[in-house]
Structure 1
Amino acid sequence: MTDPMIALSMLGLFILMVFLGFPIAFTLMAMGLGFGYYAYFDERRMWRDHLRLPEDAGWWDHATTWVDGWLNNRVFDLFINQSYTVMSNEVLTAVPLFLFMGYIVERANIVDRLFSTLNIASKNVPGSMGVAALITCALFATATGIVGAVVTLMGLLALPAMLKARYDRSFASGIICAGGTLGILIPPSIMLIVYAAASNVSIVRLYAGALLPGLVLVGLYLAYVIGRSVLQPSAAPRPRADEVPDVPRMELLRMVVTSFLPLAFLILAVLGSILFGLATPTEAASIGALGGILLAILYRAMTWQRLRESVYLTARTTAMVCWLFIGSYIFSSVFSYLGGEHVISEFVKGLDLSPIMFLIMAQLIIFLLGWPLEWSEIIIIFVPIFLPLLPHFGIDPLFFGVLVALNLQTSFLTPPMAMSAYYLKGIAPPEVRLTQIFAGCMPFLFCVILAMVLMYLMPGIVFTLPQIIYGS
């Protein structure tokens, strides 16, 4: 069996282990070390060291030489070097800080105030409660970037209110599931930071490039919610007078100032400082983490227990991402050394695809991978397989990264492995069935596909803002 065949067997075995439910990070490391031991084993050096022993050497010297020959493998040096490389990566330093900001904001009792205010402010808009829930999801997802937290919290807060207001169960569920996934795409997205570290694309350009597509997707979601509310009033009945209080204008203004503006200012301060070069992503994330603490104190929601939970969740999630990176780097290094990357590259080039066909094929594969895998595994493990092929097809890695971020929205919304639906089902009232949640997600899935088509047809949606701010 040739080395490239062994590399492809390595990839196939890994996919099998994933479907069997083994922990992905440690599976990557174990397979990287196992196959790497074979790849980097130097039998000639072991024999050479053995033959250099003097003739009067004893059995202990021979045994020690054999043991050193077996254990002195470069794969262990690779493991140490890759671990150090990941831990010292300046881009990844922003991950725990943004996560900490998100977990603090999640526990600061901001979201319930924000949803109540937007619900009152938009009461004259068709589907007002759905619009308020979607905007709240978008802002909260932007501040946290944690899909499970957004869907769960909004499911506890907004779903019962919409069901009480006689909203269609599928419609209400779809709004929360779709809105909760926006943090994957809209900056400051944790996913974009991970992609920047994996692809060496500038994170500030990625943030600038992803901003307009994120707003386009939010606009499509809002258009669908309002349009369906107009065409099918029974799905989103107008609120009765006793359901939404009539608040005086000055009181409503005060509610907006105290609930909407602080969170919006924090997001704009963090994002603006990154986009306009006032701070690096790590520095901006530090500002955001401090701002989240100050918001929690301002809303009198900061307690020792909440701070402790935020630190614990931040450390746990960061460790998961970093171990995935270490395992992925070892796995991909061995895979490439054995020639697997070259085989895949030559196979794809031999298909004689056009750039648009390559993009469609790559996005279809990522779409299918989104069923069994989380976004972090897809970005860290499988996206780097496509990155070396981008220059051959003349595709900008910035455009590819934003397209992948948009595509990964579908992995949370597509049955049967729609994780947003399972997050919501876990806290939804018993009468809300999983099939109803799946049905509610499907129209929003078509909105994502429409946004991807718009990006294909009008790449300026991605490139305009980075070119205006940073030049070509």
Structure 2
Amino acid sequence: MEFLAIILFIVIFILILKGYPVAFTLGGISVAFAFGVSIFSPESFTMSTFYLLPSRIMGVVNNYVLMAVPLFIFMGIMLEKSGLAQSLLETMAMMFGRIRGGLAISVVIVGALLAASTGIVGATVVTMGLISLPTMLKRGYKTELATGVIAASGTLGQIIPPSIVLVLLADTINSASRGGASVDVGMLFSAAMLPGLLLVGLYILYILIKAYFYKEDAPGIPTEEIKAFRGGDFVGKILKALFLPVLLIVIVLGSIFTGIASPTEASAIGAIGATILTILQHKFSLKIVKEVIQETTRLTSMVFFILLGATTFTLVFRTLGGDQYLQELIVFSQLTPLMFLLLVMLVIFITGFFIDFIEIIFIIVPVVTPVFNALDINMLWVGILMALNLQTSFLTPPFGFALFYLKGVAPEGVETHQIYRGIIPFILIQLLVVSLVLFFPEIIFISS
């Protein structure tokens, strides 16, 4: 009767694609399905199994690692309110202004810095869309290039630590391993650094090549403006714009990589540091605090409700023998470990066209992790591949969230089809990096 677990997975997947709430679909359908099976096939599932659910839910709520999620969210939203992103973009634009495509390069670098200090795609894309998109269009940048650069740079927070995706991935892999190979969040952060920086470098390389062959698509900033900006205390402007956010990044990531603090402790440091930076920027107020707390509570509640629904689904799926059935299916089909990994990567990539990364993590990862462990595949490598793959879900039409965020703040005249066309080269770059990590896994082990 193990095939019933696969039917449950397919039913939930279809309902989520139709737009039903993820958290309640995962939990509600799992309970309803288990109830039906217990009536018609009591030997496959008994409702007494649900006595295990409260302890599992409390295990999620009490999970020390997951405490980092609301703290990193708080840190990101508070930094968005501080106004540092605007000063960073303005300063970087003038630093690279003489280079064709320099403004686009500055957007990529600022996106990477914001990724390492916030890790929230929505906040980064909206902030850079509001500040830099009108400026890029005004200076003659082709709409497709401008929107593509902003959307792609905004998603760097999903792979460059501290990343909420990496925190959730590590916890889900560890929960699903059941005594198999576990993945430490700190190790995942370290392993993700080089692939993340590789993405940044390839984005910049693409912009330089594009600007060289299509000069009208990415013009430079007029010399008069650069001279005007560089007049006075130019070094002071650079230090003021770069020093504070870089200092916060060094403190948060440095404390994790050196072992001084755990990711959860570092997230608390980051939350306090972001608040201090907001005070130093003279943007701190009770109104700001209220907005940050409300947004943090909303996002955290969404994540944890989905997580609790996923916990219910995983309990029912495993009790029905779904993970064991999947392993037997892989053995019977004679898939090699690499073939199975490629299949999972393809499924995650295609799924990313339609549903959010959180849903993919909590639905697909618990199902495939036991199989990866049975095939003795390194889960640190798999985790980074999944994170890179999940990053593309923010960019792939029709439901790429970064595209929605950008369209929501884009000036009048920027069409959806232009945003879709502009993002294609950056999706191809991301797939190139996924392929490099897939076939040259030493990339992640060098950085870890």
Look up the SS of the partner of 2:20 in the other structure.
coil
User: What amino acid sits opposite 1:12 in the alignment?
Assistant: I
One-letter amino acid of the counterpart of residue 115, structure 1: L
Distance 1:191 1:10 in 2: 25
Please state how far the C-alpha of 1:250 moved relative to its aligned partner: 6.5
Alpha-carbon shift at residue 37 of structure 1 (Å):
3.2
Aligned pair partner of 1:88 in 46, 51, 62: 62
* 1:266 corresponds to 2:248: yes
SS at match of 2:413: coil
State whether residues 355 and 399 of structure 2, in contact with CA within 8 Å, keep that contact through their aligned partners in structure 1: no
**Cα distance in 1 for residues equivalent to 2:16 and 2:138:** 41
Tell me how far apart the structure 1 counterparts of residues 11 and 37 of structure 2 sit (CA, whole Å).
16
Report Cα offsets for 1:327-354 as digits up to 9, x if no partner.
Answer: 1111111111112222222112222223
Q: What pairs with 1:49-448 in structure 2 (closer than 5 Å)?
A: 73-200=47-174, 201-248=183-230, 251-448=233-430
2:179 maps to which residue? Answer: none
Cα deviation, 1:339-372, whole Å, max 9, x if unaligned, reads 2222222112222223322221111000011111
Amino acid at match of 1:419: F
CA–CA distance in structure 2, aligned partners of residues 168 and 262 of structure 1: 32
In 2, distance between residues paired with 1:79 and 1:10? 18
2:178 matched residue in structure 1: none
- Contact 2:140–2:219, Cα closer than 8 Å, also in 1: yes
In structure 2, give the amino acid aligned to 1:339: G
Contact preservation (8 Å) 1:29, 1:330: yes
1:18 alignment counterpart? 16
Secondary structure of 1:440's match? helix
Distance apart, 1:73 and its partner CA:
4.2
Count residues in correspondence: 438
Query: 1:142 deviation in Å?
Result: 2.3
Of 6-15 and 269-278, deviating more is 6-15
- 1:149 shift after superposition: 1.5
Shift, 1:412, TM fit: 1.5
User: Aligned equivalents of 2:156 and 2:248: distance in 1?
Assistant: 18
Q: What is the deviation of 1:437?
A: 0.7
Moved more, 136-145 or 270-279: 136-145
Cα 1:250–1:39 shift into 2, 3 Å: farther
Question: How far did residue 419 of structure 1 move?
Answer: 2.1
- Asked whether the equivalents of residues 121 and 252 of structure 1 are also in contact (C-alpha less than 8 Å), the reply is no
Deviation at 1:137, TM superposition (A): 1.3
User: Which digits, 9 at most, give the CA deviation of each residue in 1:125-164, with x for residues without a partner?
Assistant: 2211001111111111222211111111111100000000
Query: Structure 2: which amino acid aligns with 1:30?
Result: G
Q: Does the CA-based 8 Å contact 1:370-1:408 persist in structure 2?
A: yes
SS at match of 2:434: helix
Q: Does 1:37 align with 2:11?
A: no
Q: Distance in 1 between matches of 2:17 and 2:230?
A: 57
Aligned equivalents of 1:297 and 1:245: distance in 2?
31
> Counterpart amino acid of 2:384?
V
The CA distance in 2 between the partners of 1:432 and 1:464, in whole Å, is: 42
Counterpart residue type for residue 159 of structure 2: L
5+ unaligned residues in a row in structure 2: which ranges? 175-182
* 8 Å Cα contact 1:165-1:237 kept in structure 2: yes
- Deviation of 1:242 after TM superposition, in Å, equals 4.5
Match of 1:270, SS state, is helix
| 8 Å Cα contact 2:53/2:315 also seen in 1 | no
CA distance in 2, matches of 1:243, 1:350: 67
Using the TM superposition, name which of 181-190 and 324-333 deviates more: 324-333
Q: Which moved more, 1:361-370 or 1:315-324?
A: 315-324
Change (3 A) 1:326 1:245: same
After TM superposition, give the deviation of residue 385 of structure 1 in Å. 1.3
- Distance in 1 (alpha carbons) for counterparts of 2:184 and 2:231: 44
CA distance in 2, matches of 1:41, 1:288: 51
Unpaired segments of 5 or more residues in structure 1?
45-71, 467-472
Q: Residue deviations 1:25-69, cap 9 Å, x none?
A: 01111122223335567999xxxxxxxxxxxxxxxxxxxxxxxxx
User: Is the alpha carbon distance of 1:82 and 1:41 closer, same or farther for their aligned partners in structure 2, counting shifts above 3 Å?
Assistant: farther
Once residues 417 and 446 of structure 2 are traced to their aligned partners in structure 1, the CA distance between those partners, rounded to angstroms, is: 40
CA RMSD of aligned residues (A): 1.9
Percent of matched pairs sharing the same residue: 37
User: In 2, distance between residues paired with 1:393 and 1:335?
Assistant: 20
User: In the alignment, is the contact (CA less than 8 A) between 1:120 and 1:245 conserved in 2?
Assistant: no
Deviates more, 1:291-300 or 1:324-333: 324-333
Instruction: Measure the CA separation in 1 of the matches of 2:234 and 2:395.
Output: 35
Structure 2 CA distance for aligned equivalents of residues 445 and 43 of structure 1: 46
| Structure-2 separation of matches of 1:123 and 1:13 | 53
| Equivalent position SS for 1:246 | helix
Q: Please tell me whether the aligned partners of residues 42 and 73 of structure 1 are also in contact (alpha carbons under 8 angstroms).
A: no
